[in-house]
Structure 1
Amino acid sequence: MTESLASMRPAIVTVDDDPSVSRAVARDLRRRYGSDHRIVRAESGEQALDALREMTLRGDQVAVILADYRMPGMDGIEFLEQAMDLFPAARRVLLTAYADTDAAINAINVVDLDHYLLKPWDPPEEKLYPVLDALLEAWLSSDRRPITETRVVGHRWSARSYEVRDFLARNQVPYRWYLADEPEGGRLLAAAGANDLDLPVVITPDGTALVLPSDAELAERVGLSTAPTADFYDLVVIGGGPAGLGAAVYGASEGLRTVLVERTATGGQAGQSSRIENYLGFPDGVSGAQLTDRARRQATKFGAEVLTTRDVVGLAASGSARTVRFADGTEINAHAVILATGVSYRQLTAPGAEELTGRGVFYGSGLTEAAGCAGQDVFIVGGANSAGQAAVYFARHARSVTLLVRGPSLQTSMSYYLIQQIADIPVITVRTCTEVVAAHGTDHLERLELCARAAGTNETVDASWLFVFIGAAPRTDWLDDLVVRDRAGFVVAGPDLVVDGKRPCGWTLDRDPYHLETSLPGVFVAGDARADSVKRVASAVGEGAMAVSLVHRYLEKR
């Protein structure tokens, strides 16, 4: 049996400082239970606790712990008292001599002892096995299934704890969330040798404890691809939103060696949408996470590489190749590049909002926080589709949802179907001509100061949850002057680069730029990062596909 399969079996742990007794106990246990259980033997309380901590981090299960009472340094009762913090559901047995029966009886109250056995236990068929059979049956009835997900331990109002959970959720990594001040969270912290200053702590399925991990470290440990497998590609797609995923699918499916580079998680803003109902082919709607997951799997099925936590900071022309440089100084080269960097939500400038980000103030849908909003009041800033989708979603959980809209109505920025849905949900209130002018709180958001612009009056409301969707800024600052951008930073492409019959400065080819081509030949732009693009998922996917067809044309006519 392999080690991975063996570790899935529940363990029976025995500890005795007398090597001959320890071996005898383990021998009798293996004879009866070895086929279905791991038998773990230790010769001191500290040695056994080290083994239990390691099993805790791996998510292993311990069914029964047998400890000798008389051990130097740490007796059996002291050991079981610490062991029950690590595996509270394990059945506990104390091995005692006849003279120690009073201590064993007292241990029933101290460590909630399940049974005590007198030494010697021969014959085991009469004195050992019947006891363990009953204890194992009781343990099995408690449904102690092994935990194989990644586990995250943190504080409720910790910004980094939220970022870690959001990163895992957006990358489709299953995880369980534990509060550090609750029993199970405290148990995991103790097993990892961590404390409240080390949060968040992430425990991977193989039992590795990561203290305050970076996104890159987290990605590597949970099995996400972070390193390219080659130095040169046909096509590099920068950005993993709908446009980038569309380009990766069509590029790889049409035979181009394609790599998609994403700095956080595939899906972009669309991937954070609770439900997209106007995307072709999904009459019942689809969540952004579902759509993203399908697109990513589709791209990898055709052979595209998908890299996460890789921040692109530079782009250059190297002869006929295009060089993409990462923040860590490494680089890859390709015949062509598609910029699909998308946009990010603009930051709320109200005093206090920056300090409370991740601690009650969130950008994007914050779906990981939905459960915490149950029965509470939620405020959402924004008047476009993303804000409307979030309002509908949170209305399922929250006591009330207040949509704060700077403009006089929703009609100019939100789809008609969403406006109708919002009007039919009684817990949603729309407040137009209203802005957040301040956010207040100590360790988390507690109050918002709102300004009713029409009346020119301010009011303060109690609030613990604020989700912000206020327009978009393109992620193009890193391009500097390499390609032409408009005043807002969006990339200008195609016919818009030709002004009064003149091609862009520095253009060296004897043709006009292709439709989605930037001012640097061989570099194309698709999706929300393009100037004057239609900010919709369907159009972004279409532009990603179109950009690949133009890449083929560029490669054929170089």
Structure 2
Amino acid sequence: MNNERTPAGRVRVIGYTWSPRGHEVRDFLARSRIPYLWIDYEHNEAARAEVAELGLGTRSLPLLRFSDGTDLVDPSDEELAEKVGLQTEPGAPFYDLIIVGGGPAGLAAAVYGASEGLRVVLIDREAPGGQAGMSEAIENYLGFPDGLRGSELAERSVRQATRFGAEIVVARDVVGLADDEPNRVVTLDDGSTLAAHAVLLALGVSWRMLEAPGCDRLIGRGVYYGGAAAAIPTCRERDVLMLGAGNSAGQAALYLARYAKSVTMVAPEAEFSDKMSEYLLGRIERTANIHLRPHSKVTDVSGDELLERVTVEDVDSGEQEVVETSTLFVYIGAAPRTEWLDGVLERDEHGFVLAGPDLEGRVEWPLERPRELLETSMPGVFVAGDVRSGSVKRVGAAVGEGSMAIQFIHNHLRS
């Protein structure tokens, strides 16, 4: 048995470093700000002995061992959330406001809505924080000149919202939305429904997938979208590739450079300054083990069971180079997850939700009062943050919209 002493409250996770599910579990724990100790089953004899003593096979991994003596074997996100004390079920059938999405916009709305007396529930399919919650340093957020970890911003916001009485429900997905006048009804992933006077969609966006041969097969086996902190075991002292030129990619590159032998950033842009803030690009250029490779794109990803090589092509000359690597991070922009709103709300050609003036002339408005600035094509349903068509993709802007939405929701409730 492994006699390693585990700090109080920390979870010991035993699994394969290259397991997709093992990566997802570590990512969930990191995003939920649950301390954990990762133990590689393949290279730790004591860990293998523990698993054998419990009568488990390797297909049962990852194994999570808690300080209270209990274990979870390959748990779902919902089972894991319940075990670590997170709320996975709404506490009531009806609320003043249902917020869908726990990024900066949703958390800001939860804080301001609950503090102003609304009964609020926030539902997030993962853990609160959104993409901003995975950022190692938000350095252009007002009032934090030394930067702020995304996880710290999320943790503070969750504590603030719950102190005012908002409920935070995690590891649950909202899959349906309906108008049941005078209420709005959302359907959860288990088929249950929840009603409210108003709904705020703060869905954020998801990483855009890389459309290169072999990529889908190797997700979690060397190819990663976001979640740099959870993938550290796979890149220590290795040569890492990163596809992307935006601020998210830049922050992740700086973080990974502390552990990796080298980080090579690949982007089709002629200049990284086309997408990245000047202050961040300056830091990257001063980091010796980060290398920039503009005018380039990834055209092929290959390997037997794990990532072994990536083909990089010069976008001008078409010349290709096969690069040996075991780790590729992809940060090539974001796309909304709004397919479930098809036929329910008006969206733009890219799937972002339309609101306010952008709806003029597209749909009839059934109420006597005018449509609010962040109100969608369904009265009483509002949208804020990155998922709104035309939004500014910045943390500060998302917080502002989430806060502002509460005033519009009050106007709706009064009417």
Question: Which category of TM-score, normalised to the shorter sequence, fits these structures?
Answer: over 0.9
Q: Percent identity?
A: 51
Say which is worse superposed, 370-379 or 471-480, in terms of deviation. 370-379
Task: For 1:176 and 1:199, locate their aligned partners in 2 and report how far apart those are by CA, in whole Å.
Answer: 15
Q: Pick from 179, 197, 215: which aligns with 1:317?
A: 179
* Gapped regions of structure 2 (runs ≥ 5): none
Give the corresponding residue for 1:534: 392
Structure-2 change in CA distance of 1:457 and 1:146 (3 Å): closer
Q: Which residue type is aligned with residue 533 of structure 1?
A: S
Q: Which residue type is aligned with residue 18 of structure 2?
A: W
Report the Cα offset of residue 212 of structure 1.
Answer: 1.8
Q: Deviation string for 1:395-437 (max 9, x for gaps)?
A: 2222211110111112222111111111221211111111111
Q: Which residue type is aligned with residue 194 of structure 1?
A: L
Report the Cα offset of residue 192 of structure 1.
Answer: 2.9
Task: For 2:84 and 2:102, locate their aligned partners in 1 and report how far apart those are by CA, in whole Å.
Answer: 19
Task: For 1:365 and 1:240, locate their aligned partners in 2 and report how far apart those are by CA, in whole Å.
Answer: 16
Q: SS in structure 1 opposite 2:386?
A: helix
Report the Cα offset of residue 483 of structure 1.
Answer: 1.0
> Is 1:157–1:443's contact at 8 Å kept on the other side of the alignment?
no
More helix by share: 1
Task: For 1:420 and 1:162, locate their aligned partners in 2 and report how far apart those are by CA, in whole Å.
Answer: 31
> Is 1:336–1:522's contact at 8 Å kept on the other side of the alignment?
yes
Is 1:174 paired with 2:52?
Answer: no
Task: For 1:196 and 1:189, locate their aligned partners in 2 and report how far apart those are by CA, in whole Å.
Answer: 8
> Is 1:274–1:365's contact at 8 Å kept on the other side of the alignment?
no
Q: Which residue type is aligned with residue 118 of structure 2?
A: L
Say which is worse superposed, 201-210 or 544-553, in terms of deviation. 201-210
Is 1:395 paired with 2:254?
Answer: no
Q: Pick from 339, 342, 354: which aligns with 1:492?
A: 354
Q: Deviation string for 1:50-79 (max 9, x for gaps)?
A: xxxxxxxxxxxxxxxxxxxxxxxxxxxxxx
> Is 1:380–1:467's contact at 8 Å kept on the other side of the alignment?
yes
Task: For 2:131 and 2:158, locate their aligned partners in 1 and report how far apart those are by CA, in whole Å.
Answer: 15
Q: Which residue type is aligned with residue 13 of structure 2?
A: V
Q: Pick from 352, 359, 382: which aligns with 1:524?
A: 382
RCO comparison, higher one (Cα < 8 Å, 6+): 2
Give the corresponding residue for 2:130: 268
Report the Cα offset of residue 512 of structure 1.
Answer: 2.8
Give the corresponding residue for 2:248: 386
Task: For 2:7 and 2:369, locate their aligned partners in 1 and report how far apart those are by CA, in whole Å.
Answer: 63
Report the Cα offset of residue 148 of structure 1.
Answer: 4.2
* Gapped regions of structure 1 (runs ≥ 5): 1-85, 90-142
Q: Which residue type is aligned with residue 300 of structure 2?
A: A
Is 1:207 paired with 2:69?
Answer: yes
Count residues in correspondence: 414
Report the Cα offset of residue 371 of structure 1.
Answer: 4.7
Task: For 2:293 and 2:168, locate their aligned partners in 1 and report how far apart those are by CA, in whole Å.
Answer: 42
Report the Cα offset of residue 204 of structure 1.
Answer: 3.2
Q: Pick from 347, 355, 361: which aligns with 2:223?
A: 361
Is 1:411 paired with 2:273?
Answer: yes
**TM-score for both structures, normalised by structure 2:** 0.96
Give the corresponding residue for 1:462: 324
Say which is worse superposed, 404-413 or 270-279, in terms of deviation. 404-413
**TM-score for both structures, normalised by structure 1:** 0.72
Q: SS in structure 2 opposite 1:167?
A: helix
Give the corresponding residue for 2:195: 333
Report the Cα offset of residue 144 of structure 1.
Answer: 5.1
Task: For 1:451 and 1:370, locate their aligned partners in 2 and report how far apart those are by CA, in whole Å.
Answer: 27
Report the Cα offset of residue 163 of structure 1.
Answer: 0.5
Q: SS in structure 1 opposite 2:308?
A: strand
Q: Pick from 316, 331, 352: which aligns with 2:214?
A: 352
> Is 1:178–1:184's contact at 8 Å kept on the other side of the alignment?
no
> Is 1:379–1:402's contact at 8 Å kept on the other side of the alignment?
yes
Q: Pick from 92, 106, 130: which aligns with 1:244?
A: 106
Q: Pick from 157, 162, 165: which aligns with 2:18?
A: 157
Give the corresponding residue for 1:508: 366
Give the corresponding residue for 1:483: 345
Q: SS in structure 2 opposite 1:336?
A: strand
Structure-2 change in CA distance of 1:372 and 1:147 (3 Å): farther
Q: Pick from 402, 406, 409: which aligns with 1:548?
A: 406
Task: For 1:158 and 1:406, locate their aligned partners in 2 and report how far apart those are by CA, in whole Å.
Answer: 30
> Is 2:18–2:234's contact at 8 Å kept on the other side of the alignment?
no
Give the 5 Å matches for 1:114-153. Answer: 148-153=9-14
Report the Cα offset of residue 506 of structure 1.
Answer: 4.7
Give the corresponding residue for 1:70: none
> Is 1:192–1:209's contact at 8 Å kept on the other side of the alignment?
no
> Is 1:371–1:397's contact at 8 Å kept on the other side of the alignment?
no
Q: SS in structure 2 opposite 1:527?
A: coil
Give the corresponding residue for 2:334: 472
Report the Cα offset of residue 160 of structure 1.
Answer: 0.6
Task: For 1:270 and 1:461, locate their aligned partners in 2 and report how far apart those are by CA, in whole Å.
Answer: 30
> Is 1:161–1:200's contact at 8 Å kept on the other side of the alignment?
yes
Structure with the greater alpha carbon radius of gyration: 1
Task: For 2:360 and 2:396, locate their aligned partners in 1 and report how far apart those are by CA, in whole Å.
Answer: 27
Task: For 2:398 and 2:64, locate their aligned partners in 1 and report how far apart those are by CA, in whole Å.
Answer: 35
Q: SS in structure 2 opposite 1:233?
A: strand
Q: SS in structure 2 opposite 1:268?
A: coil
Q: Pick from 401, 408, 431: which aligns with 2:293?
A: 431
Q: Which residue type is aligned with residue 110 of structure 2?
A: A
